[in-house]
Structure 1
Amino acid sequence: MDWYTVKNVDDIDSPALLVYKDRVMDNIRKVLTLVELPQQLRPHVKTIKIREVCTMMLDFGIKKFKAATIAEAEMLGMAGAEDVILAYQPVKTKFLRLLKLIRKYPGTQYSCLVDNIDSARWFSDLISGVERAENRVPLQVYIDLNVGMDRTGIKPEYAYDLYHAIRSLTGVKFKGFHAYDGHIRVSDITERTAQCDRDFHQVELLRRKIMEEGNGLPLLVAGGTPTFTIHSKKENVECCPGTFVFWDKGYQDTLPEQDFLYAALVLTRVVSLPHVNKICIDLGFKAIASENDLQNRVYFLNHPSFKPLSHSEEHMVISVEKDHGLKIGDLFYALPVHICPTVALYEDIFLVKDAESSINWKVVARDRMITC
């Protein structure tokens, strides 16, 4: 049997997301070997969205996390995470939800991002009122730095004044800097390291300038999967890989030095034979991430030569040789090129252990709201 084969596959309707528990655990063990201490890791759970998988990381000593949504942050509170950054600068509605979250899960230290003084002052005014009313400690904030993504954040060369302005406010407390470098994706690790060092040069100058004032070297929360091993070698840095838990074809092809295991697949079936050299499977837009071009969305482990011909909401048509021998109901084990948005398409996953699926886990943080 191939590692991905599921014995009781007839019990699973398709399309379905399969997660292989032992391979997830192997990936968690692997990521711990790539840093000196578990404390250097702050995995991003935007890929995972499953409480039980977060609990697995907690069991391995990983206690700090990053979340993209309030629902992901609440999932981590439910799991008992010690420290969670909302990797977002919240506007009013989201900020009020964050305050509800803080009240509901007092055992979890929550923080958020800020990249301008107006938002910081607004946070300060609101949280100061809550603090007086409820005797609460200030909200910790990280200054979000723009190191090349040009999506959010302040340029490092302008962040020094913002740092001092925030330190003068009540209700909020500067915790450190945050910088996401998703634009750094070059395959060669030497080139990737060089680009990372260039793009973070101003960040290091900023941190050293603050340290020279006698305040210590500020914490930096940095990177994603492509750069986390680079950042892990720096002083007082927490790094934020996320995809490593499930892995995908995209990173397998572009990050050759990271040998994590595929741990999540989509099970799909042949639903029609429309032509002698075409088959149709139930793997539509709603079943697998489709933001890439058609030829860069999926790889079929048990049919590696097959390529998509067309894609729609419920169906994917594949070009095949005339004598393909496939029948209605035949299985395809589909490896997503991008696993993160694929997970978000499913309400639950089928957990596979010892080649059998026996339980389902909810993708609880797929929802925009759990309770807060």
Structure 2
Amino acid sequence: MTRETQEDWYLISNADQLDSPALVFYPDRIAENIVRLKNRINDITRLRPHVKTHKNPEITNMMIEAGIHKFKCATIAESEMLGICKAPDVLLAYQPVGPKIHRFIQLIRDYPDTKFSCLLDNAVSLKAIAAAAAEAGLTVDVFLDLNVGMNRTGIAPDENAVLLYQQISAEPGVNALGLHAYDGHIHDDSMDVRKEKWQLALDGILYVNQEIIAAGLPKPVVVAGGTPTFPLYAAFDDVECSPGTFILWDKGYQDAFAEQEYLTAALVISRVISISGSGTITVDLGHKSVAAENELPRRVYFLNAPQAKFIGQSEEHLVLDAGADNGFEIGDVLYGLPIHICPTVALYGTAALVQDQEISGEWKITARERKINI
């Protein structure tokens, strides 16, 4: 029986050795997800996975050993974790401002085995980053951040974006590498709807790209997309792709994006700590233990209690209606599949490892910290 069909793949025979709540990783399934990602693109050099999901050096090293050498991240700590792993190419998909500029410059100095770059979307930040780089005697690689519909950061993909790119190219202290576009607003269940919205985003990217080339500048590198649009960009040869959630997967993406068959590879473990009334149980999985940005019923799915209904959650407790005669007793273990794994991982300092259905060690979630050294 394969891991895809083995219904009890998640069970831990020595779960009594694991305090709860706990985050657990299944390394064999993580390794399989890396293989599946590689098989979904024509050229491995076009992969630039985002590490925000796992924030972990061991998983990063698994990808490096698998031949993936480009990465994307969102924080200085994630950047430094990648530098510690000697990842060859790292894009900080964030525009450094204030003290973060100097931290970024320090990263470049302290981790010479890694080629770092960052984002820009305005002339003020351009001048600040270029001045800091010049003062340090460095040239900083930058990508122009395009707003293709998420309306969070970035410049609209029009003639002003082309002008800003030309300004970057002419500014001492920085080097214009290319274009970055994150389309996190595109997460529809329907692939047809996703494709329609993706085409609008792609049209903007292509317009700016073509105008830059027409202006006589080198062809930009294009880094675009996340997990929901990965299959679309993967089929488009001139784009580096940045999925992140694929590495651990979660219930939200499992339900929404059936065309992407990755394995869920991380769970949260909790225990029944109280029983009150007919069918009502309380487990030790509060706001601090699983991502709570979604409405209450959309935070976690219990593999061994799939019919459980959510009554309430507080910082350290989750109250469930498990149904009459549910059979649960004080101390029983519940295996929770997070709806959103990325912020869930960030709630834990370590993840226990499960191999052959036994706890076999733990990995530190190194980049959950805001600061490692720099």
Q: Distance in 2 between matches of 1:233 and 1:146?
A: 22
Counterpart of 2:226? Answer: 224
Matched, 1:243 2:249: no
Structure 2: unaligned runs, 5 residues or longer:
1-6
Percent identity between the two aligned chains:
48
Counterpart of 2:217? Answer: 215
Q: Distance in 2 between matches of 1:68 and 1:212?
A: 31
Matched, 1:106 2:112: yes
Q: Distance in 2 between matches of 1:255 and 1:263?
A: 16
The code of the aligned residue for 2:201 comes to D
Count of equivalent residues: 367
Counterpart of 1:10? Answer: 16
Matched position secondary structure for 1:200: helix
Counterpart of 1:144? Answer: 145
Counterpart of 2:4? Answer: none
CA contact (8 A) 2:102 2:132 kept: no
The code of the aligned residue for 1:40 comes to R
Query: What's the offset of the Cα at 1:117?
Result: 1.0
CA contact (8 A) 1:218 1:236 kept: no
Matched, 1:21 2:27: yes
State the TM-score, normalizing by the size of structure 1. Answer: 0.97
CA contact (8 A) 2:349 2:366 kept: yes
Q: Which shows bigger deviation, 196-205 or 103-112?
A: 196-205
Counterpart of 2:83? Answer: 77
Query: What's the offset of the Cα at 1:234?
Result: 2.3
Query: What's the offset of the Cα at 1:277?
Result: 2.3
CA contact (8 A) 2:221 2:239 kept: yes
Query: What's the offset of the Cα at 1:214?
Result: 4.0
State the TM-score, normalizing by the size of structure 2. Answer: 0.96
Query: What's the offset of the Cα at 1:200?
Result: 2.2
CA contact (8 A) 1:65 1:84 kept: yes
Matched position secondary structure for 2:297: helix
Q: Distance in 2 between matches of 1:61 and 1:233?
A: 20
Matched position secondary structure for 1:156: coil
Matched position secondary structure for 2:327: coil
Counterpart of 2:187? Answer: 185
Query: What's the offset of the Cα at 1:216?
Result: 4.3
Counterpart of 2:129? Answer: 123
Structure 1: unaligned runs, 5 residues or longer:
none
The code of the aligned residue for 1:327 comes to E
Q: Which of 297, 305, 308 is residue 306 of structure 1 equivalent to? A: 308
Q: Which of 309, 316, 321 is residue 323 of structure 2 equivalent to? A: 321
Matched, 1:297 2:303: no
Counterpart of 1:49? Answer: 55
Q: Distance in 1 between matches of 2:218 and 2:127?
A: 24
Q: Deviations over 1:222-246 (max 9, x none)?
A: 0000011211222421110000000
CA contact (8 A) 2:50 2:73 kept: yes
Q: Distance in 1 between matches of 2:213 and 2:100?
A: 33
Aligned CA-pair RMSD: 1.1
Query: What's the offset of the Cα at 1:190?
Result: 2.2
Matched, 1:93 2:99: yes
Counterpart of 2:269? Answer: 267
Q: Distance in 2 between matches of 1:332 and 1:185?
A: 29
